[in-house]
């Protein structure tokens, strides 16, 4: 089957273009099953849930600035600890804010290629893996990345989330 027979969804094409601009060339895979959650993505990718990149948007409680946290699928963010690194208290925005900020719906938010540039932080645990899987624009599209390349290309600051 050629790419013409099976084009990527437009959101995934946008992610692929941004990846190319960044000097990355991940293969984007469209999974038959949902990759909306970290657990679903790990099952579809046949990888450890820790290798799944959750792209989580927070909002600065004081400034209103959106922040992107790239978090291992095995971890939950301790917002107080993250706030110390980021420099202000964090609030969890609703789905509409996340969509308006990134241009993507929850479950498909990629780690780069958003509508506006986002200050980005990366969970140190992701850096332990040789490769990780991130959403690529839709809740069925994923891409495999080297976490160090992901960090370098997004300028993400290392953060310990727990």
Confirm or reject binding of residue 37 to ligand 5CA (CB under 6 A): yes
Confirm or reject binding of residue 38 to ligand 5CA (CB under 6 A): yes
Nearer to ligand 5CA by Cβ, of 2 and 137: the residue is 137
CB atoms within 10 A of CB 127: 16
Nearer to ligand 5CA by Cβ, of 54 and 153: the residue is 54
Confirm or reject binding of residue 19 to ligand 5CA (CB under 6 A): no
Binding mask 53-92 toward ligand 5CA (x if CB under 6 A, else -) reads xxxx------------------------------------
Nearer to ligand 5CA by Cβ, of 52 and 86: the residue is 52
Nearer to ligand 5CA by Cβ, of 12 and 153: the residue is 12
Binding mask 117-136 toward ligand 5CA (x if CB under 6 A, else -) reads -----------------xx-
Q: DSSP labels for 60-83?
A: ETTT--EEEEEEETT----HHHHH
Beta carbon of residue 17, minimum distance to ligand 5CA (angstroms, whole number):
19
Structure tokens at 49: 């849930």
Residues in the chain: 162
DSSP 24: -
Confirm or reject binding of residue 145 to ligand 5CA (CB under 6 A): no
Residue 44 half-sphere exposure toward CB, CA atoms < 13 A:
23
Number of residues in contact with ligand 5CA, rule: CB under 6 A? 20
DSSP 9: P
Task: Give the chain's radius of gyration (CA, Å).
Answer: 15
Q: Which residues of this chain interact with ligand 5CA, rule CB under 6 A?
A: 35-38, 41, 52-56, 94-95, 98, 106-107, 109, 134-135, 139, 142
């Amino acid at each position: 089957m050629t790419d013409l027979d099976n084009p990527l969804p437009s959101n995934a094409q946008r992610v692929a273009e941004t990846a190319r601009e960044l000097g990355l060339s991940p293969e984007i895979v469209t999974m038959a099953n949902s990759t909306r959650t970290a657990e679903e993505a790990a099952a579809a990718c046949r990888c450890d849930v820790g290798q799944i990149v959750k792209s989580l948007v927070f909002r600065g409680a004081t400034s209103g600035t959106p922040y992107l946290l790239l978090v291992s699928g095995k971890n939950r963010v301790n917002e107080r600890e993250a706030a110390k690194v980021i420099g202000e208290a964090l609030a969890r925005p609703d789905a509409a804010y996340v969509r308006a900020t990134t241009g993507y719906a929850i479950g498909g938010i990629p780690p780069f290629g958003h509508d506006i540039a986002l200050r980005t932080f990366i969970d140190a645990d992701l850096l332990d893996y040789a490769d990780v899987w991130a959403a690529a624009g839709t809740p069925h599209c994923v891409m495999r990345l080297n976490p160090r390349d992901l960090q370098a290309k997004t300028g993400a600051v290392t953060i310990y989330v727990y």
